[in-house]
Amino acid sequence: MGLFQYIETSVENEIGFITLNRPKQLNALNRTMVGEIVSAAEEFDRDTQVKVILLSGHGKAFSAGADIDEMANDNPITLELLNQFADWDRLSLVKKPIIGAVKSFVFGGGFELALSCDLLIAAGDTLFSFPEVTLGVMPGAGGTQRLTKLVGKTKALEWILTAERINAETALKYGIINKIVAPELLMEEAIAFARKIAVQPSLAVRMIKDSVNKAVDYSLYEGMQYERKNFYLLFASEDQREGMEAFVEKRKPNFTGR
Ligand code: CO8
């Protein structure tokens, strides 16, 4: 794993941990940091020891958004030349499931990072918000698109236009998060959740993530065709044979991820 300035990484029990590590700035995301998060996720994606990626933040908050100091003097040309959102696009190409464990402030780019995860566990004290409008801008790393696809136009517009802070209960009600846990149990619960996926045969997990994500972009017909190909593909795996043989033989399967 590369050396990183703004994040920490580790692997334990088939979980690849990425921890945002700018706690004094509430894990405000500067560009280097976003690049590091994506590079670490890509490395874990290639690492056969890792089944699930778990993204969380050191300190009080998950992330208070993009680093406003860094962004303040940008202009359209510097933004075009930096092409920083290419990093965010790469994050969407990671094939292993990414679980976000979030707490306290999940604002702006931090909310967009959370929405880029596949599953989210939130501490009871979590507040989600898009405060960009109060800065004279708008979400730029997928916020208007991902939130709208999740909760529908009505609430997405209300929340993004008013910078409302949404609490964990509301986020759960609207399907933004999977689960609310006590703040002191956040990592423990997130690891238990990650383990439930890590024990599954990893090729099936991969194809399920891929197929479900396609449902967001494809028509039902296109999505069904896509699902079918992934379903067929899994019948080329040793794990399919092992899983079904084990069922017939009434024994526990021994999956290899092949
Ligand atoms: N950028 C830079 N520094 C920040 C940020 C931020 N987004 N958020 C907090 N900090 C810093 C503060 O300046 C402060 O630093 P210092 O101690 O040196 O003064 C430190 O973190 C602690 O913050 P506060 O003292 O303000 O802590 P409070 O508990 O009083 O308040 C809040 C917490 C409410 C979260 C407050 O810090 C806040 O409003 N922060 C800004 C939130 C915000 O507007 N986020 C959206 C940014 S725009 C954005 O995300 C656009 C995304 C588009 C592309 C994504 C690219 C990555």
pLDDT per position as a tens digit, 27-58:
999 999 999 999 999 999 999 999 999 999 99
Q: For the packed helices 220-234 and 202-217, what is the interaxial angle rounded to 10 degrees?
A: 170
Query: Where residue 2 falls among pLDDT bands split at 50, 70, 90?
Result: confident
Q: What would the two tokens of residue 193 be?
A: 């959740």
Mutate to test the pocket of ligand 1, among 38, 107, 113, 145 (most ligand atoms within 8 A of CB): 107
Q: What is the pLDDT of residue 202?
A: 96
Q: Is the pLDDT of residue 3 over 90?
A: no
Radius of gyration of the chain (CA): 19
At 53 the pLDDT is 98
Query: Looking at residue 37, what DSSP letter applies?
Result: H
Q: Given this model, what pLDDT does residue 68 score?
A: 97
pLDDT of residue 1: 79
pLDDT in tens, 191-250: 999 999 999 999 999 999 999 999 999 999 999 999 999 999 999 999 999 999 999 999
Among 30, 20, 32, 130, smallest CA distance to 72 is for 30
pLDDT band for 110, please (50, 70, 90 cuts).
Answer: very high
**Residue 36 bears catalytic tag:** no
CA of 107 to the centre of ligand 1 (A): 8
Tokens of 121: 């566990």
End-to-end CA distance of the chain: give it in Å, rounded. Answer: 24
Q: Which atom of ligand 1 is nearest to the CA of 69?
A: 2
Q: Evaluate: CB of 66 within 6 angstroms of ligand 1.
A: yes
**pLDDT score recorded for residue 248:** 98
Do the strands 179-181 and 7-12 form a parallel or antiparallel pair, or are they unpaired? unpaired
Which member of 109, 110, 142, 143 is catalytic?
109
List C-alpha distances in Å: 195 to 97, 101, 198: 12, 14, 5
What is the average pLDDT value for the chain, to the nearest integer? Answer: 97
Collapsing DSSP to helix, strand or coil, 206 comes out as helix
Residue 66 is among the residues annotated as catalytic for this protein: yes
Residue with tokens 């599953």: 119
* Residue 6: strand pairing partners: none
With a pLDDT cut of 70, the percent of the chain lying above it is 100
Question: What pLDDT digit, counting tens, does each position of 67-91 carry?
Answer: 999 999 999 999 999 999 999 999 9
Q: Among all chains, which residue has been given the structure tokens 């991969």?
A: 206
Q: Do the beta carbons of residue 197 and residue 97 sit within 8 Å? A: yes
